[in-house]
Amino acid sequence: MVISYQLEVRCHCKERSGEAIYTLGDCFVAGVRTLYSFNYKLILLFISLLMVMLGFSEAGAHDPSAYGGLFRSRDNGATWFPANTGLFLTDALGVAINPIDVNHLLLATSTQLLRSRNGGRDWVQEAPTVLFGGVYAVAFDADGQRAFASTNLGIYVTEDGNQWYKTSVPKGAIPAYAIAPGFGTGRIYVAGPGGLWRSEDRGRSWSEAGKGLPQGPVNGLLIPRMNPGQGVTNSEETVYVIVGGRIWMSPDGMHNWQPRDTGLPVGRVQAFSQDPAEPNRLWAAAADQVFTSEDLGENWRPIGRPLPEAHTSIHGIAAAEGGTVIVLTTHRGLFRSTDGGDNWNLMEGNLPIHLEAGPLVRDPHHPATLYAGYALTPYSELRRTAMEGGSLLSRADPVSLIGGAAFLILLTILGIILVRWLARSRSAVNTTTLSRS
């Protein structure tokens, strides 16, 4: 609908008694007169912010579907809320929860590493002069004192949460896809594009742990906790990995790797996890279907029905209540089932509904609490960029960069023109008010 500028409306003016007839344009200018009392630079900033917000008008300024980041649920995925309030993040590549203090979090993004000590209410950038660019995997040690982070340049360690140093790690380990502490003191595992590595001295030295595995990237890493009656020593722990779309298991984390995918679609496993209540129960996602094992992966059986859309890439799986509630993070978003996988719902609400969901992490002390990450850029593209040793900006072609710069210049010019027009309108209103007085 087009409204003529000459449409007459009745306005009451506090600066003079009586009632006057003004045009719609006069009323608009009079309505923003308070704004004119501010410095013009503030006006320009206000206009610029307004124009940026208009770019997200379809999603709504408060709608998190316009960006990526970290989200948290405290009820097994029924409701979700942003866990990085106050930050504009394009992605969340990994999240680590301190095993001693669950309010102590590390968040890996494509531009920086963030730390929160109050459950995500506040975040600070971690070691900006040491950790350059994207951070692709993070983990705390089993004692919660040390932390590990991977960039495309190396694996970094902090002993006290303040000082970070780079370790000497094999090239095939970076950028790491997953980092996990072992049961032994100082033991840490790193899964990367070139295989699996293990350190016995908190990252100071590394040895290959994937001898016997097929060649290729290790896309998944799981070290299940044991039943209380199962003794675990510093020399033994069971490690599961995903290589070539198959699940492999080693009883000592280094040798005697054996496939553990009986009953699973061969070569199509994408994600797995351990049940929070039953240590012997594992969950896996393969070929758009959820599977479960009651014997630590010896045998698998399907649960429920496949996802509604075929060829869905599944990045994370979390099951609760014996498998009645299942949450999946996928390239289509976050799916949830409350009937053992018979029906699947694409979760919306506070969650992005058209972005890719990636990491899915469970609170070790509060099993109903889940963290899920989202990204504006597909995770496969972020990983490929890291492998090539660059950033998303470095991959932009010159034409795109010139076009972006030209747009910013045009936006600035339009803001200046609008400010000057408002100033002239103010002067005109003041003159009209004086003449009518």
Span 88-127, pLDDT tens digits: 899 999 999 999 999 999 999 999 999 999 999 999 999 9
What pLDDT is recorded for position 402?
A: 63
Other CB atoms within 10 Å distance of the CB of residue 303: 18
Given this structure, which CATH class describes domain 68-387? mainly beta
Task: Judge whether residue 176 has pLDDT over 70.
Answer: yes
Boundaries of every domain in the chain: 8-57+402-436, 68-387
pTM of the full predicted structure?
Answer: 0.77
Task: Judge whether residue 251 has pLDDT over 60.
Answer: yes
- Cα separation, 105 vs 70, whole angstroms: 11
Angle at 41 between CA 35 and CA 45, to 5 degrees: 80
Average of per-residue pLDDT values in the chain:
83
Nearest to 426 by CA among 18, 50, 38: 38
Q: Which of 1-10, 37-46, 252-261 has the lowest mean pLDDT?
A: 1-10
What pLDDT is recorded for position 157?
A: 96
- Cα separation, 186 vs 201, whole angstroms: 5
Task: Judge whether residue 270 has pLDDT over 70.
Answer: yes
| Cβ contact 134:178 at 8 Å | no
- Cα separation, 385 vs 389, whole angstroms: 6
- Cα separation, 286 vs 272, whole angstroms: 9
Q: For residue 128, what is the DSSP state?
A: T
Task: Judge whether residue 145 has pLDDT over 50.
Answer: yes
Nearest to 354 by CA among 372, 376, 335: 376
276 token code pair: 């929070």
Phi then psi dihedrals of residue 228, to 5 deg:
-55, -30
Q: Which of 17-26, 99-108, 336-345, 391-400 has the lowest mean pLDDT?
A: 17-26
Q: Give the pLDDT band (50/70/90) at residue 41.
A: very low
